[in-house]
């Protein structure tokens, strides 16, 4: 079974969310949008606020998913994160930017079943 890119991305975000919950993260928001910029997952890892970009690919033929988080993409995430922080009461929490890369190997019943997942904490800085 194949997915169109949007569906594959949505399934990847669901897989990443389940992974984070299993690791003890609290999911605070998903698909937070600020203008044209989006943060896939906003989560708390203990006292640290994490802005998490999820990149999912059906193979690495066109490159590893981590390669898609370019400097330009990082700047877009940083803009959205800055806007998100304005919605919170002071003081500003400790923050970091993570990336979760997923390469899917098989699907079943419309869901990702076999995959490789790599979670990079502090993947980039402001």
pLDDT tens track for 43-89 = 999 999 999 999 999 988 889 999 999 999 999 999 999 999 999 99
Domains of the chain by residue range:
5-124
Q: What is the pTM of this model?
A: 0.92
For residue 1, what pLDDT is reported?
45
Nearest partner of 30 among 45, 51, 11, 8, judged by Cα: 51
Average pLDDT over residues 100-109: 90
Interval 25-51: pLDDT, tens: 999 999 999 999 999 999 999 999 999
- Cis preceding-peptide flag for 87 (omega within 30 of 0): no
Q: Which CATH number applies to 5-124: 3.40.1350.10, 3.90.1720.10, 2.40.50.140, 3.30.160.20?
A: 3.40.1350.10
């Amino acid at each position: 079974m194949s997915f169109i890119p949007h569906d594959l991305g949505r399934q990847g975000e669901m897989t990443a969310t389940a992974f984070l919950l299993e690791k003890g993260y609290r999911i605070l928001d998903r698909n937070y949008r600020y203008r044209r910029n989006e943060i896939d997952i906003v989560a708390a890892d203990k006292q640290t606020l994490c802005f998490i970009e999820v990149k999912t690919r059906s193979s690495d033929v066109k490159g590893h998913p981590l390669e898609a988080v370019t400097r330009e993409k990082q700047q877009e995430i940083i803009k959205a994160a800055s806007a998100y922080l304005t919605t919170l009461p002071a003081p500003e929490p400790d923050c970091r930017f993570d990336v979760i890369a997923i390469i899917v190997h098989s699907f079943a019943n419309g869901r990702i079943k076999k995959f490789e997942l790599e979670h990079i904490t502090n993947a980039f800085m402001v």
